[in-house]
């Protein structure tokens, strides 16, 4: 990566970590995806139950294979099973996991975490359920305001719909039309304003790089 861009990303990571820690999240930064993976695995003790939320960052990290082959109780939502009832049941059990590992769709400069979900299996346990939440995200998710976060989510949603092969209008055009189809992926939007209620429960690893979308 260009040296100046790397430096700029590092500055962004340091700044947002400071903001997030003031908001009672437990935030830290690393420089690469590999360092994020190592840090994340250091946080999860052997034998812990782990669920993950859909995330391109975690996919790039190869986390599913790591969890499948590690010494964890993995709530594996990527098994080749019917969505309802089998995968839905895994989502339900995931609410009681020791750890939820996930990305985030956006972080505002004010330290709010903004996410939109299809099923709710990611946004619900980010708020309550699992004892620990570890969020891994690149600096490209940082936006100016809540309005910018909603705009960002609307812009990236068609890519997510295409990635998970949902037949939605945006998969044809690349643009959100606020659809009303069964396969709609934008059903639940949450804002986490502050981590103070369960201090330290939400841990955030910021990668000083542009990862995922």
Where do contacts with ligand SF4 occur on this chain (CB under 6 A)? 157-158, 161, 168-170, 176-179, 184-186
CB of 153 to ligand SF4, least distance (A): 9
Taking the complex as a whole, the smallest distance from the CB of residue 17 to ligand SF4 amounts, in Å, to 30
The two structure tokens encoding residue 141: 């998710």
- Give whichever of 38 and 167 is closer to ligand SF4, judged by the CB atom: 167
Calculate the dihedral angle through the C-alpha atoms of 84, 86, 92, 94, rounding to the nearest 10 degrees. -140
User: Residue 116 Cβ, how far from ligand SF4 at the closest point, in Å?
Assistant: 8
Q: Do the Cβ atoms of 136 and 61 come closer than 8 Å?
A: yes
Contacts of 116 (CB under 8 A, 6+ apart): 105, 123, 153, 157, 185, 186, 187, 188, 189, 190
Residue placing its CB nearer to ligand SF4 in the complex, 163 or 201: 163
Classify the C-alpha dihedral 93-98-103-107 as positive or negative.
positive
C-alpha 16/C-alpha 30 separation (Å) is: 12
Q: Which is nearer to ligand SF4, 27 or 170 (CB)?
A: 170
| 37 or 152: CB nearest ligand SF4 | 152
CB of 34 to ligand SF4, least distance (A): 32
């Amino acid at each position: 990566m260009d040296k100046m861009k790397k430096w700029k990303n590092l500055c962004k990571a340091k700044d947002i970590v400071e903001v997030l820690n003031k908001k009672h999240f437990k935030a830290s930064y690393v420089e690469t995806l590999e360092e994020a993976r190592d840090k994340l695995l250091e946080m999860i003790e052997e034998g812990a139950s782990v669920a993950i939320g859909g995330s391109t960052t975690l996919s790039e990290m190869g986390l599913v294979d790591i969890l499948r082959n590690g010494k964890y109780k993995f709530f594996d939502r990527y098994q080749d099973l019917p969505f309802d009832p089998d995968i839905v049941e895994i989502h339900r059990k995931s609410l009681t996991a020791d750890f939820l590992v996930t990305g985030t769709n956006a972080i505002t400069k004010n330290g709010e975490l903004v996410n939109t979900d299809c099923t709710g299996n990611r946004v619900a346990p980010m708020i309550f359920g699992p004892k620990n939440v570890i969020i891994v995200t690149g600096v490209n998710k940082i936006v100016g305001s809540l309005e910018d976060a909603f705009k960002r989510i609307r812009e990236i949603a068609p890519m997510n719909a295409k990635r998970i092969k949902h037949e939605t209008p945006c998969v044809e055009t690349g643009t959100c039309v606020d659809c009303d189809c069964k396969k709609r992926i934008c059903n639940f939007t949450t804002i986490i304003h502050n981590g103070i209620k369960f201090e330290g429960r939400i841990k955030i690893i910021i990668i000083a790089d542009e990862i995922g979308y």
